[in-house]
Structure 1
Amino acid sequence: MRIIQPPKPGDYPPYAEMYMKLIPTDGMVLKYLQNNFYRVKDLIYSLPPQHLLYRYAPGKWSIKETLVHIIDDERIFAYRALRFARNEQQNLVGFDQDSYAKYSGADTRLLDNIFDEYEAVRHATIALFNGLPEEAFDRLGHGTGTFNNATVRALAYHIAGHEMHHYFLIKDKYLKM
């Protein structure tokens, strides 16, 4: 798997720092994406089925909704990486993650079905970043709203860090029932 050097401050919007700091800076982000998928899967499959619908506070997502959110976010940020890698100059708009979760139907899906999709998206993400030309990683794309400018390399780290952010949230908030 290829080495992708970590982004520098300025390669991503300030809010993304919370994700960047969760991934080691050794350039092995694609290996972390591969391994952390199994880390998440092992944790979730170790839980009793009733935990998958638990919400730690009113208005918070269930664990199933959180998993589908991770998938949606990865798909969207991989698409952004593709556009920026291909030197797209049009601004990209953000997305309403709460609306996505609300209409995902995650709580009615079988866990195996969610993980089938999760794994397919993860394989596609790794393949995308593995296949990009080296010069693409420093291309900067532009967004609007809370999604500001980011480099392709920053988006790889965002995807990995975002997953770990939710992994730790599940461990810290959802498993203390």
Structure 2
Amino acid sequence: MEAITILKRPKTNEYHPFFERYITLVPDGGLLDILKKQQETTINLLRDISSEQAEYQYEAKKWSLKEALGHMADAERLLSYRIFAIARGETLSFPPFDIDAYMTNADFSRLDFQDILSDFSIVRQCTSSLIAGLSDNAWIRTGTVLNHPTTVRALAYIIAGHELHHQAIIKERYLLM
């Protein structure tokens, strides 16, 4: 666990440049603490959302709040799998995921918002459990994501930054209605 407390921010050669926008959002500090605080912030932000608010789209053809939260859980689930696989020595190249296809096939509109929020929380708990058990050597193991060498450490930071990115969008575009 101490390795997570002193985990250093990944260097730019540890991930595809696309992910820079997420990694730069992550504050300094212990990664497990950051992930736990983010989880609490997201849950507190969204726990009292009504069914009507959950269906809100801030613009035509944009995701509803339900879909945005579902996407956050899906993306974390996918990135956590990549952490798991690379940490365990997987060497295959991970392709990008088509977020539009994932969204279409998830059909979040049929689900209750509180169930999606609960799923998000469970996914975060699983992610935290996974990274808490990683060895020091696992953090620097490298796989290929978006045809670019990517470390386990970078993927963990991407998860944290992706949530911060969507928290900001939710605050700015969904909760001001």
Superposition TM-score, scaled by structure 1 size: 0.91
Say if 2:16 and 2:146, in contact at 8 Å, map to a contact too. no
Is 2:168 the counterpart of 1:165?
Answer: no
Q: Which residue of 1 aligns with 2:176?
A: 176
Q: Which residue of 2 aligns with 1:7?
A: 10
Is 2:52 the counterpart of 1:50?
Answer: yes
Q: Which residue of 2 aligns with 1:109?
A: 111
Higher mean alpha-carbon deviation, 63-72 vs 90-99, is at 90-99
Distance 1:88 1:108 in 2: 35
Long gaps (5+) in structure 2:
none
Distance 2:114 2:61 in 1: 25
1:108 shift after superposition: 2.0
Q: Which residue of 2 aligns with 1:30?
A: 32
Distance 1:156 1:5 in 2: 11
Q: What SS is found at the alignment partner of 1:95? A: coil
Percent identity reads 36
Aligned length: 174
Distance 1:32 1:144 in 2: 26
Kindly provide the CA deviation profile for residues 42-75 of structure 1, in whole angstroms up to 9, marking residues without a partner as x.
1112434312111111221111101110111001
Kindly provide the CA deviation profile for residues 10-64 of structure 1, in whole angstroms up to 9, marking residues without a partner as x.
11111111111111123x1211111111111111124343121111112211111
1:176 shift after superposition: 3.1
Distance 2:169 2:9 in 1: 23
Higher mean alpha-carbon deviation, 67-76 vs 32-41, is at 32-41
Distance 1:59 1:134 in 2: 44
Distance 1:99 1:67 in 2: 16
Q: What aligned pairs does 1:45-124 form with structure 2 within 5 A after superposition? A: 45-124=47-126
Amino acid at match of 1:53: E
Say if 2:90 and 2:143, in contact at 8 Å, map to a contact too. yes
1:101 shift after superposition: 1.3
1:144 shift after superposition: 3.7
1:149 shift after superposition: 2.6
Amino acid at match of 2:114: D
Amino acid at match of 2:80: A
Kindly provide the CA deviation profile for residues 91-118 of structure 1, in whole angstroms up to 9, marking residues without a partner as x.
1112111111122121221122112211
